Amino acid sequence: MTKRFNLIPALFLSLGSLLFALGDQTRLVPSTRPVPADFFGMHIHRPGPVRWPPVPVGTWRFWDSHAAWPDMEPRRGQWDFSYLDRYLSMAEEHHAEILYPLGLTPRWASARPDEKSAYQPGWAAEPADLEDWRTYVRTVVTHCKGRVHTYEIWNEPNYRPFWTGTTDEMLLLTREASQIIRSIDPQATIVSPAATTATGTKWLAEFLTKGGGKYVDVIGYHFYVNTQAPETMLPIIQQVHQVIDENHETAKPLWDTETGWLVPSRFDTEELTAAYLARSYILAWSAGVQRFYWYAWDNGPPLQMIDKDTQALKPAGRAYGIIQTWLVGARMDECKQDADGNWICQLNRNGELQWIVWNPAGSKTFTLPNQWRIKSVTPLLNDPSAFSGSSLEIGQMPVLLRSSPPRT
């Protein structure tokens, strides 16, 4: 479990995102561009037995989906592209961009083949022979040229179940992969190794201080907060921005390439899982994260998107589709928490101002500013309804407020 951080009083500027923390009030000023469809990323582990999501998926990250190095080359020189080719076809059919993480070392190539890892022995170690890594990267990128345009180097290098080598060794793998990718596909986007949780900022700082930024186009990170609420991602995002600033890499976008809620997280209701998912996407964009890949579409408890047996959408799966309709194409002017703990995020959609509000602590009476002239209220999982009052009860579930009547 990661430590809970409090927002410190500060004025923080990075990548077009401002974070003010003044007493009990917090204000975020996000990117000035509209929210793009590819902000909404997803992991799909078993797309064969699992139907493609009936909600939009802007970009799909191939992780835990039989597309890592040990799956591609289980024995030296013996390549298996069966899973990968099926995934590429599915992504093209559904117009989903691909983020392809390169990494994990097959046991035959591992520097420590008997060492424990999150998967099979040896998979978290660096390759014993750098040429094997070069061959792997060159073969996969050549095979995927024209179909994959974005690659990520490794997964969670600060977490020993996934990486037991040194930062210098990861820097070497990143440099070699970057050179090979750019020689085969000069237009490809390369994402840095994505460290995870609050402890990962130290690893990222070392990686960038040693020059890792010159080999990548995007800074990747995993803003896991374990059992805590989505709002506790904000201090970690702030720290990552600070590391990026200190290493003069502010021109590079920040992507969250994997975050979700895993065991032992506990949710009293499935509606709360929907609230967590929606708030995660709202807050990540407001804090300057330009892509967010949810983990995962076909996970089991505690946060399920679909019913395991029927494949029917659960509240969190519905929320993934709904929050896209709220955000994609809109500009977020600001996102702030007031002295009562209410979060208020202002959107501008083609000149119409809209607001998303919630209170992470629970039920609260929210007084509407007169100038908003609210005519329509849409709770996250419900249809819009007409509204004419001066206040409403809000809680952990985000609510969309509009100054125009509900659509019929």
Strands 25-29 and 17-22: antiparallel
Give residue-wise pLDDT tens across range 7-42.
Answer: 322 323 333 344 444 334 677 878 899 999 999 999
- Give yes or no for residue 77 having a pLDDT over 70: yes
Task: Describe the crossing of helices 167-184 and 200-209 by its angle, rounded to 10 degrees.
Answer: 60
- Give yes or no for residue 401 having a pLDDT over 50: yes
Say what the pLDDT of residue 288 is: 97
Contact 335, 345 (CB under 8 A): yes
Of 352, 358, 363, 366, nearest to 403 by C-alpha is: 352
- Give yes or no for residue 87 having a pLDDT over 60: yes
Say what the pLDDT of residue 8 is: 29
Say what the pLDDT of residue 7 is: 31
**Stretch 375-384: mean pLDDT, rounded?**
97
Say what the pLDDT of residue 21 is: 46
Tokens of 212: 């890792």
What are the backbone angles phi and psi of residue 182, rounded to the nearest 5°? -70, -25
**Stretch 258-264: mean pLDDT, rounded?**
91
The whole-model pTM stands at 0.93
- Give yes or no for residue 333 having a pLDDT over 70: yes
**Stretch 94-117: mean pLDDT, rounded?**
98
Give residue-wise pLDDT tens across range 167-207.
Answer: 999 999 999 999 999 999 999 999 999 999 999 999 999 99
Say what the pLDDT of residue 25 is: 62
Domains of the chain: 33-330 (3.20.20.80)
Q: Which distant-in-sequence residues (6+ apart) come within 8 Å of 305 by Cβ?
A: 53, 296, 297, 298, 299, 313, 314, 316, 317, 320
**Stretch 320-349: mean pLDDT, rounded?**
97
Kindly report each contact of residues 388-393 with a partner whose C-beta sits within 8 Å and lies 24 or more positions away, as own/partner: 391/365, 391/366, 391/367, 392/365, 392/366, 392/368, 393/363, 393/364, 393/365, 393/366
Neighbouring CB atoms inside 10 A of 294's CB total 24
- Per-residue DSSP letter, 127: B
Contact 31, 17 (CB under 8 A): yes
Say what the pLDDT of residue 300 is: 87
